[in-house]
Amino acid sequence: MNTIVKMVPSDIARGVVVAFSGGADSLALLISLIPLVPPAKIVAVYVNHNLRQASELLAEEALNRQNCRKLRVPLVVVKLERGAVASCALKRDKGLEDAARHLRYEALQRIAGERQFPYIATGHTKDDQGETVLMRLLQGAGPVSMGAIEPQRGNIIRPLLNTERSAVERCVKEHGLRWSEDSTNTEEVYLRNKIRHRLIPVIKEIFPNYLESVSQGARRAREAMEPLRPLFEEAFQRSVSAQAGRVVIDLEQLQQMPRIVAEQVIYRGWGLLTGGDERRFPYKFIEMIIAQTESSWPQQYALRVSNGKLKRVKEKLIWTLEEGPLAVSYLSLLYSKETPLAGGRTLVVEHKEGDPDGVRLHSSTLKMPLVVRSFKSGDVIELAGGSKKVGSLLAEWKIPANERWMVPVMEDRVGIVAVIGKDYGGKNRVAQRCLLPPLVRNDAPLYSVVGTKG
């Protein structure tokens, strides 16, 4: 077996779809799997996301076809419509990287199903694992998420996960092949690229063997969580029930659980309510729900997440899918193109040019998830001129005190990113860290309030 391949299922010969970008990782993966899989049971799949210049994509596809011909492996090319990734990113509200990944795996799973191949192999390396662990650690991920990239999840296998990128590149060179380079890998608008190009070189100076350490940490996190999975399942079955379009959580049961178990119960409740929806349920909402179970939850209080609404009725938490406008104490994840607001207004998200006064936010400047909520006392936005109380802005705009809760405030995990006050007699203000250069603005989603007061 090729020494760079550390882990493959014993029945890999039954068939495998190889996620083939044409980069060094996926090319080395393909090279390594060829001796292990019969020719009729392996296929490379290249997904063109249509996110780069047409000339670059054409050259990349041509090189990929050439390499696959040399390796005698069939290549399937899947071309996404231009704008498909942006549309998916808007719907999922987790950025372009996530949307591209989501659509790519959809294509891989479809082709694996059509060919009845049991496995999909990706070229994730130990370097990718290191970057993922660092991102999750610095984003405050919990122990369940610190397992990072798994060697196998369902039918997805990652045979190179214990192999460093340098070994992967040597493998390709030894076979006399040339890999393609994605120009976006050098652009630091993406968080992973910032980690790779700015943070990791500094870490390597201090901890030359950091990759081994973080990979070991991820493995230990997965091993530590494994015995808890039956506990998560038992707690969920004991405390959660589904009843005619709603999920009911027993708060007395929830209060008796260890915090990590209670968190997983709420995550699972969200999944049950939305029919397995993969959209992320923010940890800040988990904290708010748990905090409310530990104190009095006023009858008029409701927490709105996307189109889900939570209310407390005695010792039950009633979670329903229910459309309704943003109101006092409401929060909503920005998943859809339109979010209803109070007063007959709607927060609209569009991909279009123009509107120089509109609020444009690029995913590269945000720490997802992005939410819209009502103004509350104590809100502060960091502007180019320094910190500013949102209440002071609303007062300067002469918005009546009893109407200020209607002005939508947009917030990510770090803090407030925008106040959309133009339609209320004020102005739109964007946090300094989210300001965009002119050439980038037109590519960023436009957030605006439409409708008439009343």
Give the integer Cα–Cα distance in Å for 120 and 174: 25
pLDDT of residue 392: 93
Give the integer Cα–Cα distance in Å for 376 and 355: 28
pLDDT of residue 339: 80
pLDDT of residue 454: 41
Within 8 A by CB and 6+ apart from 195, the residues are 131, 134, 135
Going along the chain from its start, the domains and CATH numbers come out as 12-225 (3.40.50.620), 243-321 (3.30.465.60), 333-450 (no CATH)
Give the integer Cα–Cα distance in Å for 79 and 163: 30
CA distances from 70 to 27, 62, 67, 250 (A): 12, 13, 5, 61
CA distances from 314 to 249, 297, 305 (A): 11, 9, 21
Q: Is 38 helix (H, G, I), strand (E, B) or coil?
A: coil
Q: Are 397 and 423 in contact (CB under 8 A)?
A: no
Give the integer Cα–Cα distance in Å for 319 and 310: 5
pLDDT of residue 184: 66
Q: State how beta strands 42-48 and 16-19 pair.
A: parallel
Q: Which of 347, 344, 310, 341 is nearest to 325 (CA)?
A: 341
Q: State how beta strands 16-19 and 119-121 pair.
A: parallel
pLDDT of residue 257: 92
Give the integer Cα–Cα distance in Å for 142 and 402: 39
pLDDT of residue 38: 96
pLDDT of residue 278: 45
pLDDT of residue 111: 97
pLDDT of residue 11: 94
Q: Identify the bridge partners of residue 260 per DSSP, sorted by sequence position.
A: none
What is the full per-residue pLDDT of the chain (454 aa) written as tens digits?
456 776 799 999 999 999 999 999 999 999 999 999 999 999 999 999 988 888 889 999 999 999 999 999 999 999 998 888 878 776 665 667 778 888 999 999 999 999 999 999 999 999 999 999 998 888 777 888 888 899 999 999 999 999 999 999 999 999 999 998 877 666 555 677 788 888 999 999 999 999 999 999 999 999 999 999 999 999 999 999 988 788 999 988 998 999 999 999 988 888 888 776 545 666 777 887 787 677 666 655 666 665 677 888 888 888 887 666 665 555 666 656 778 787 788 888 887 776 666 799 888 888 777 888 888 888 999 998 899 999 999 999 999 988 888 899 998 878 899 999 998 999 999 999 998 887 677 778 889 888 854 4
Q: Which of 54, 59, 39, 48 is nearest to 20 (CA)?
A: 48
Q: Which of 193, 191, 129, 200 is nearest to 158 (CA)?
A: 129
DSSP string covering 404-442, please? GGGSEEEE-SSSEEEEE-GGGTS-EEE-GGG---HHHHT
Residue 48, judged by CB atoms within 10 A of its CB (0-12, 13-18, 19+), counts as: middle
Q: Are 387 and 379 in contact (CB under 8 A)?
A: no
pLDDT of residue 19: 96
* Residues composing the chain: 454
